[in-house]
Structure 1
């Protein structure tokens, strides 16, 4: 924007509309990252194109469908953050505080 960070921070605090616009911008990127993580966790197909030039100089586009396998690390990250009630590493303390409850409904 062509201004110092301190100026932007002052404007953000002074103008609620600017603050709201900045928050909306963050939400868009957060959603894009969530979608990318989900895609990586589930695996996906994509089309790769390459161009071959024959002896006569004629160009030929070759399309190949490739598969990216599901990523278990992305799956673990997704589940631990989206379903911590079922997928956390540490057991939950009980309401009485005298022990732990191990959640095992898998």
Structure 2
């Protein structure tokens, strides 16, 4: 593939085409195929060229708004499925399938965050041990003791 093909896609007409493809629901893979590039190249272009990234983002948002509008119209006209879907996704505190109270959901979320943090610590410890051996384990133990003490001092009484 010729170098510099991206330049064509920075032109206004090409950006409108990208935006339209995304608005019409094409995936990045399909868009890359239309351009004649690999999807990883498109990912690089999106990272490097803000105009390409914005055109695709705007197209995606336009599609979302169009679908949202249609869903709202169906819900307002009495389509029960659309009503349920709308409420579950736009009023989650009130309409959800969870049998947990809001307080229980908060507690479950906090537990999940703690589990994620513990996992990150375990992974970091394993990597440090692998990279640096026993001396790093002692250093990590001291750091974790300090963190644990700080956490306990910040707990509500």
Fold in common (TM above 0.5): yes
Tell me the secondary structure at the aligned position of residue 41 of structure 2: helix
Aligned: 1:32 with 2:66:
yes
- Structure 2: segments with no counterpart, 5+ residues: 1-34, 108-157
Match of 1:21 in 2: 55
Count of aligned residue pairs for this structure pair: 71
- 2:93–2:102 contact (8 Å) kept in structure 1: no
> What stretches of structure 1 of length at least 5 have no aligned partner?
44-69, 98-106
2:21 is matched with none
Which structure is higher in RCO with an 8 Å CA cutoff and minimum separation 6?
Answer: 1
Q: Which has the higher helix share?
A: 2
Cα deviation, residue 10, structure 1: 1.3
Alpha-carbon displacement from aligned partner over 1:31-90 (angstroms, at most 9, x marks no partner): 0000111111122xxxxxxxxxxxxxxxxxxxxxxxxxx211110000010001111121
> Structure 2: how far apart are the matches of 1:18 and 1:92?
44
Q: Is the counterpart of residue 71 in structure 1 residue 96 in structure 2?
A: no
Which protein has the bigger strand share? 1
